[in-house]
Structure 1
Amino acid sequence: MTNDVAIIGVGIHPFGRFEKSAVEMGAEAIHGALADAGLEWQDIQFGFGGSYEVSNPDSVTRLVGLTGITFTNVFNACATSASAIQQTADTIRLGKYDIGIAVGLDKHPRGAFTDDPAKLALPQWYAENGQFVTTKFFGMKANKYLHDHNISEETLAKVAAKNFRNGALNPNAFRRKPISEEDIMASPVLNYPLRQFMFCAPDEGAAAVIMCRGDLAHQYTDKPVFVRASEIRTRRFGAYEVHATSAPLDADSSPTVYAAKAAYEAAGIGPEDVDVAQLQDTDAGAEVIHMAETGLCADGDQEKLLADGATEIGGSMPVNTDGGLIANGEPIGASGLRQMHELVRQLRGEAGERQVPGNPRVGLAQVYGAPGTASATILSL
């Protein structure tokens, strides 16, 4: 029996603000994935689901069908969807089931990612004195990285402007209006060097991906996309970000570095083989940092790459072609599966105005879940 796992269906509920529950959005994403794969819910043998706001995302089954399937809920901060992806793929590789679904859904209130620190086993005074306002940690991290590698603040504006432009081409994005680099630089500084329009926003949405055994894929689609690797890693040393007022910021301490290296090894490829990438851009600085941490470039090369347009849709290293988090916002449970939706559309050649030219064959998705969990997933034809 083959050990390959193929994605045969993807579905997404638009990201933004809606008068419906997160579970309802999840059901719509599932129906979209089923339609894409030409399947019925009764064909799905198991599922993994993730959410930050919904304690039991398995309740989505009451809206799509109570078929008695195995369904496991997962949570790993911003790496929640990646956890659902990994577990779904690995369950199929183990041979227990032939076909399964990963679904992520969330509905966040307006504002920064402050919420209830008790959800991460933290005392309430973290929130009361501002220590759980994650944006300040993003600012500290970006500030040090820019200083260490001689990268200008204007490069952060280029990242955000690029993602807003891409989001304008994405009918499922939250923010669909381009914002110029000048306007981004003129927006209020929230956590230096990060300005208002350099951040994503918590919002609402859902996404789902159906996978099956690789040798069965052509029964369902003429364009299977294979999950070559899905790796999750945590820190090996140092304090976890967000949980402490200081943490090592050296690249070698980042779990993204470990996850990406493991994924490349498992897939048998290198970063030079990646045709299109989806990187965690909770803020513009994060995208810059993750470009290097995933091996797509060396530390400090980002300034020239951005200036030369390398990360644009038509560039040599397209990043966040759907607008990333900056344009889509981040419903935590759905974010990583949104990345899968975009990569599958790109590799199939179905991304419309956002389509990367030259028939891309390899896609990389990376997410970083505070306080210190990262994932790297590699897809290919």
Structure 2
Amino acid sequence: MMEAVIIGVGLHPFGRFPGKSAMDMGAEAVRLTLADAGVTWPQIQGGFIGSLEVANPDAIVGRLGPTGLPLRGVFNGCATAGIAVSMAAKAIETGEHDLTIAIGMDKHPRGAFAAHPSVAGLPDWYGQTGMFLTTHFFGMKINRYMHDHGITERTLARVAAKNFRNASGNEKAWRRTPLSEEEILASPVLNHPLRQYMYCGPDEGAAAVVLCRADQAHKYTSTPVRVRASVMRSRRLGAFEVQSPSMPAGEPAPSPSVDASRAAYEAAGIGPEDVQIAQLQDTDAGSEIIHMAETGLCKDGEQERLIAEGATEPGGRLPVNTDGGLIGNGEPIGASGLRQIHEIVHQLRGTAGARQVPGAPRVGYTHLYGAPGVSAVTILST
């Protein structure tokens, strides 16, 4: 089986862009990606494109050139971009294409995602008044986890402060103003124990990735990044997920993040101890803490000490969300996971600029989690 490698990445800034459509942002991200890869749009043989708000994202060919390529729409909630990359890689691995592209774009209104029928079918006022079920779910989930594993509210604040601090050095991030732990702890409680500045927010942006056959990468770049694994898993019966009606008797099933991570490590032929830099779904500060353990990067309860010691800071032994994560960048659903890959690729290349972590990382990990229970993991290496 042929190995797929990433030869180009591109990212439209995340934030708010009045008067600019998601399609225009997507086309801009693609052009940046093609330039980074050193290829032209007519050379792309197939692709996968994801969006929540754009019903026909394949229409982006009208802005890039109607070359007749198969451009398939994908959607798996917050895991959408992970699936787009996985399918683009699979198309190369199976010999269907030599050059593929994964694209993500979205333009979300202010407020929770409740108003979108594709998410929950709830009325506008439900999300606009802060009553959307996912915010409650994440609050309940981390509250239980803190009780079970000795995590404090100070640790929640440390995670959020780290991600705001990391975003301040990222020219394409949305929230670039650092906030102290004290400012975060003083912000209003939205869903106990999570406060206003511990959540990410829906916003706008786009990103893309070009992949090719490993044996042809030398024609385009001297720094290809290997796709060692790209895996998605949905929830099993009994998992503690946002739409679970009740918890079963006995031990619940693990999160899909656990299943996807285990499958990815096996496919890549490595273990979590080999990961040197990670991008984890931080829909809220508590999610980053929980996902550290669910992805195997630490044991339950170790986060309290690791975060206090600075292990997840850019200079720590396992930097997490070095570009600010979702807390610093917001989440345009279709593009969010491609932003993660954009960051890891630059870190592995050594081209992350002021955000570059020391020690020349060689193995990077990206993780996505979406309601009501789906997870995507991609492992990259030099």
Query: TM-score per shorter chain, which class?
Result: over 0.9
1:280–1:290 CA contact under 8 A, matched in 2: yes
Amino acid at match of 1:335: S
Equivalent in the alignment of 2:271: 270
What's the CA shift for 1:3?
Answer: 1.6
| Alpha-carbon spacing, 1:28–1:80, altered in 2? closer, same or farther (3 Å) | same
Give the count of matched residue pairs: 379
What's the CA shift for 1:241?
Answer: 3.0
What's the CA shift for 1:244?
Answer: 4.5
What's the CA shift for 1:247?
Answer: 5.2
Structure 2: tracts of 5 or more residues without a match: none
1:279–1:320 CA contact under 8 A, matched in 2: yes
Q: Give the whole-Å Cα distance in 1 for the aligned partners of 2:52 and 2:240.
A: 19
1:45–1:69 CA contact under 8 A, matched in 2: yes
1:131–1:242 CA contact under 8 A, matched in 2: no
| Alpha-carbon spacing, 1:127–1:209, altered in 2? closer, same or farther (3 Å) | same
Q: Give the whole-Å Cα distance in 1 for the aligned partners of 2:120 and 2:201.
A: 24
Q: Give the whole-Å Cα distance in 2 for the aligned partners of 1:293 and 1:5.
A: 27
Equivalent in the alignment of 1:360: 361
What's the CA shift for 1:130?
Answer: 7.8
| Alpha-carbon spacing, 1:361–1:160, altered in 2? closer, same or farther (3 Å) | same
2:230–2:378 CA contact under 8 A, matched in 1: yes
Equivalent in the alignment of 1:15: 14
Q: Give the whole-Å Cα distance in 2 for the aligned partners of 1:182 and 1:358.
A: 31
Amino-acid identity (%): 62
Amino acid at match of 1:39: V
Equivalent in the alignment of 2:111: 111
Q: Give the whole-Å Cα distance in 1 for the aligned partners of 2:46 and 2:168.
A: 35
What's the CA shift for 1:167?
Answer: 0.2
Amino acid at match of 1:185: L
Show CA shifts across 1:215-253 (max 9, x none).
111110000001000000011212673334655797852
| Alpha-carbon spacing, 1:253–1:232, altered in 2? closer, same or farther (3 Å) | same
Q: Give the whole-Å Cα distance in 2 for the aligned partners of 1:130 and 1:237.
A: 29
- Tell me the TM-score normalized by structure 2: 0.95
SS in 2 for 1:89: helix
What's the CA shift for 1:264?
Answer: 0.2
Q: Give the whole-Å Cα distance in 2 for the aligned partners of 1:10 and 1:180.
A: 32
Equivalent in the alignment of 2:169: 169
What's the CA shift for 1:352?
Answer: 0.7
Q: Give the whole-Å Cα distance in 1 for the aligned partners of 2:54 and 2:246.
A: 30
Equivalent in the alignment of 2:58: 58
SS in 2 for 1:114: helix
Q: Give the whole-Å Cα distance in 1 for the aligned partners of 2:167 and 2:251.
A: 31
The 10-residue stretch of structure 1 (249-258 or 220-229) with the greater mean CA deviation from structure 2? 249-258
> Is 1:28 the equivalent of 2:17?
no
Equivalent in the alignment of 2:285: 284
Equivalent in the alignment of 2:5: 6
SS in 2 for 1:292: helix
2:239–2:252 CA contact under 8 A, matched in 1: no
| Alpha-carbon spacing, 1:228–1:76, altered in 2? closer, same or farther (3 Å) | same
Equivalent in the alignment of 2:303: 302
Show CA shifts across 1:292-331 (max 9, x none).
0000000000000000000000100100000000000000
Q: Give the whole-Å Cα distance in 2 for the aligned partners of 1:202 and 1:166.
A: 19
| Alpha-carbon spacing, 1:250–1:26, altered in 2? closer, same or farther (3 Å) | farther
Amino acid at match of 2:351: E
Structure 1: tracts of 5 or more residues without a match: none
